[in-house]
Amino acid sequence: METINIKELIPNKDNPRFIRDTEYQKLLTSIQKFPSMLNLRKVIVDENMVIQGGNMRYRACVELGYKEVPFAVYTREMYKKDIQARKKLAKEKGEEYEAETYEQLCQEFVVKDNLEFGQWDWDILANTHDSGVLVQWGMPEHLVDKSWEDLEFIDKAEKPESNSDVTIKLVIESEYEDIEPELRNELTKLISRFNGVKIQ
């Protein structure tokens, strides 16, 4: 396992993700309880040691007093292989490939590293995990809070009986406006499985 002196890493000033204090405290606790996960989820840097993936883990490790952390470099060689793969894919699709720089792929990595392509199966989670444990593990409370049982009808819903859509109006109190985008995003992913259901 390759490690690096944490002082050599450079936080990404253009990282589009942030973490609220409550979630950050959960991250600190998670690293303290499960440090071997750091070995499996390395900090990813570019050739200049600027962090591309793991900015929050880096910040937590600094606070926890880590001297070294596991890391991996997105190299120019990797970039060249990715470009070849993109050219091949474009050719197969009969499309024209537009040249991309190493820096552009690094920017793409930062965003993709934070995307959630999958969705939670709430039935499985409810039947196999205690909600309190899920929160301890870092899952946002608003996703496992009992109040979400009010949305149980969505899990049981099939296609709407009529042709009209079902609209859920999301009302956020002013003191929670800072989490509105995250909440809307999570709720949208939750109901995306069901035809005719949307958020207003």
Give residue 43's pLDDT: 96
Give exposure, 155-185, as e/b (b: 16+ Cβ within 10 Å): bebeeeeeeeeeeeeeeeeeeeeeeeeebee
Residue 12 and residue 69 share a domain: yes
Residue 59 and residue 27 share a domain: yes
Residue 15 and residue 41 share a domain: yes
Give residue 23's pLDDT: 83
Number of domains in the chain: 2
The pLDDT tens digits for 122-165 are 778 778 888 888 877 777 776 776 434 544 444 444 444 444 56
- Give dist(CA 38, CA 129) in Å, integer: 23
CATH code for the domain in which residue 36 is found: 3.90.1530
Give residue 169's pLDDT: 76
Q: Which residues of the chain have pLDDT under 50?
A: 146-148, 150-163
Helix (H, G, I), strand (E, B) or coil at 197: strand
The pTM of this model reads: 0.65
Range of the domain at 173: 122-199
